Amino acid sequence: MHKPTILAAIAAVALLVVGVACGGAAEETSGTSAPAAAPQQAAPQQQAQTQQQQQTQQQAPAGQQQPASQPATPIPTVIATATPSPTNTPTAAQETTAIGGRLRIATIPPVQQLTGSWLGTTTSANTQVRPFTDPLVHTDRFDGSLVPGLATRWEANEDGTQWTFFLRDDVDFHGDWGQFTAHDVPVSAQFIVREDAIATDTGLFRGLFGDSEEELLTNIVALDDTTVQFNLKTPNSLVDFFATAQQGNLFIYSKDQYEAEGIEQLQEKPTGVGPWVFEERTIDVNLLYSRNADHYRRSPFFEEMEFVLIPEETTRLAQLQTSAVQIGEVSRELHLDAQGSGLEVLQSELPSIQVAFIIGGIYNPEEAGACLTEEFQNCFFQPDEPHLDPRVREAINRAINRDEINEQLFGGIGRQHTVWGYHPALPGYNQRWTEEFDEKYGFDPERARELLQEAGYEGYELTLLLTQLPGVPEMIPMGEAAFTYLTNIGINVTSEAIQWSDYRAKYYRPGKTHGTIAATRGTYRPAEITLRFYNRSGDAGFWRTSVDPMTDALYDKATQSVDPEVKAQALRDLGDLKFDLYSEVPIVWLPAQIVVDPAVIGEMVWPGNINASFTHTEYITPASQ
């Protein structure tokens, strides 16, 4: 059996990336999606923000390097308020009107190639849709906070069942589609609950606003041209977050175009209100945008922007080195080669990405439901699943050498990650996890083997799925390293290269992850967003990786309460469950990093808490400015 070392895994990455990229049709992506601040909507939340800022104002900056084995250095908490503060003052470079030529960016092909945000999840939508149209709420590029966008302000009632957004009256759609108004918002939202929708937020929106387009349109209504109201079926304290690009699916499309041309033409040549104008795309090749010279927030400095879709790692680097592209997504083990060629590595303002392995088959026993009479056939919950035993999950965690992964794959820039979904600077984090992490999760292959023997699962069959998402080109070599670690403790591991869209469609969305483990990545956002994707049961959940039914009760308490203390305590209790039950395999927190040609690129600042490799491309300046 092949047992690659971590260094061999690095050497093999280029071939594996090609294999995964060519593994199937790009049809779906992950719910990891969107990143962000912990939104809040009333005076008590604003008070909580002030308290948290006081706690963090003396802490170290986000960019400081720190070994993964050391406690994470908290950063200032990003909290949104009901009345957002203005965006940061533009720099002198931003005030210029000088324009460059075509900005070419080499990226990993999106998991779903789309122009309709309802046909994919946050990563795909933010990468391809966000350039040409905006969400209601913008994200500040410096501190990641929620700030005015198409909505100038927003407010919620006392119990979180009604949210009202007040909109700009001076924004035009591209082309001849007229002015943006509140009437475009319900139509844009209805796409998310279409029968063919596979968006990150499809289940969420159906639960909050209606199972059908018709029902949703009775709950999201334009009160006049500049006011739109969201009436919820159940309380929710995160609607302003769902209205941002951090979440990734509620982007604004033209009601007039939809009614005049239909859904097909809306996707073929979509109009929008973004800083870039959609021009054309060729599947698996590129996407091309032109400059919107009259954007209300910031018109781009370049005349055109082109995403060049390149699955091969070394090819993206070669394109940068030969000046064929000016910006590229390159794995961290190649950063030294890039810098040796005169290129520069830039880093996001905030911690951006959490990296982990998700252990398959950990389903809530209550999800067996009607299948009980069928001896658990076709059920999520399978009582003979080895991963249901917490000793097996602990063994997997103790088998992984996090320090080695951090040093050899991530160049030592990763910070300690204790519980998947949680960052020390966000509400709900329990310092106990940091203090007890080495004792409970530390690298100890001998103890891992003992745990498997005690559980009676020594030598059990495990499929390690090798797949990739934008933002972490190292996902495949990280999986190859895990192959060695898990084999070394006596698990019978086989590996399978699979495209993320196939993984989503065939494994985790239908509840078929039994006997598998896979690397994934998420972003810096409220813990309850990640928890919904990974630990929520039923239609609202994606992975459903929780064996304890209390997860759902605590999740509901956290999301439905508008009291920040109640929310934080429910999140902390839920995190305690996950930590003590070894629900996942947390690895590291990382900043987002991108390689640029400094001869062409001047200023490039992005927050890192949006579910994409980088964002805010309209602010990128030419080097001469």
* Distance set, CA 186 to CA 242, 255, 315, 568 (Å): 14, 9, 43, 31
pLDDT cut 90: percent of the chain above it: 59
Which whole number is the average pLDDT over 502-509?
82
Q: Please give the torsion angle defined by the CA atoms of residues 512, 513, 519 and 521, in that order, rounded to the nearest 10 degrees.
A: 60
Q: Which of 241-255, 282-296, 424-438 has the lowest mean pLDDT?
A: 241-255
Which band of pLDDT confidence, cut at 50, 70 and 90, is reported for residue 548?
A: confident
Please write the tens of the pLDDT for every residue from 91-100.
444 444 547 8
CATH number assigned to the domain covering 115-268: 3.90.76.10
Query: Does the pLDDT value for residue 411 go beyond 70?
Result: yes
Which band of pLDDT confidence, cut at 50, 70 and 90, is reported for residue 436?
A: very high
Query: Does the pLDDT value for residue 14 go beyond 60?
Result: no
CA 543 to chain centre: 14
| Chain position carrying tokens 């810098």 | 339
Distance CA 281, CA 292 (A): 18
Please write the tens of the pLDDT for every residue from 163-187.
999 999 999 999 999 999 999 999 9
Which band of pLDDT confidence, cut at 50, 70 and 90, is reported for residue 254?
A: very high
CA 239 to chain centre: 17
Check residue 425 and give its pLDDT.
86
Check residue 57 and give its pLDDT.
33
Angle between helices 445-455 and 390-399 (to 10 degrees): 160
Q: Which of 57-61, 173-177, 237-241, 563-567 has the lowest mean pLDDT?
A: 57-61
Bridge partners for 79 per DSSP: 38
Check residue 552 and give its pLDDT.
85
Distance CA 339, CA 359 (A): 36
Check residue 559 and give its pLDDT.
85
Which band of pLDDT confidence, cut at 50, 70 and 90, is reported for residue 82?
A: very low
Which band of pLDDT confidence, cut at 50, 70 and 90, is reported for residue 43?
A: very low
Residues 429, 530 contacting (CB under 8 angstroms): no
- Burial class of residue 282 (count of CB atoms within 10 Å of its CB; 0-12, 13-18, 19+): exposed
Please write the tens of the pLDDT for every residue from 439-496.
999 999 999 999 999 999 999 999 999 988 777 888 999 999 999 999 999 999 999 9
Mean pLDDT of the chain: 82
Q: Which of 54-68, 101-115, 291-305, 395-409 has the lowest mean pLDDT?
A: 54-68
Check residue 486 and give its pLDDT.
98
Check residue 6 and give its pLDDT.
53
Which whole number is the average pLDDT over 158-166?
95
Residues 595, 347 contacting (CB under 8 angstroms): no
Residues 498, 25 contacting (CB under 8 angstroms): no
Q: Are strands 415-416 and 585-596 parallel, antiparallel or unpaired?
A: antiparallel
Which whole number is the average pLDDT over 34-63?
32
Query: Does the pLDDT value for residue 410 go beyond 70?
Result: yes
Burial readout 19-56 (b: 16 or more C-beta within 10 A, e: otherwise): ebbebeebbbbbbbbbbbbbbbbbeebbebbeebeeee
Which whole number is the average pLDDT over 187-202?
94
Domain locations in the chain?
Answer: 115-268, 355-585
- 59 versus 560: the higher-pLDDT residue is 560
* Distance set, CA 223 to CA 155, 190, 213, 597 (Å): 14, 17, 18, 48
Check residue 25 and give its pLDDT.
28
Query: Does the pLDDT value for residue 76 go beyond 50?
Result: no
Q: Which helix (H) or strand (E) holds 437?
A: helix 431-441
Q: Which of 121-130, 148-157, 540-549, 594-603 has the lowest mean pLDDT?
A: 540-549
Which band of pLDDT confidence, cut at 50, 70 and 90, is reported for residue 371?
A: low
CATH number assigned to the domain covering 355-585: 3.10.105.10
Query: Does the pLDDT value for residue 574 go beyond 70?
Result: yes
Check residue 40 and give its pLDDT.
33
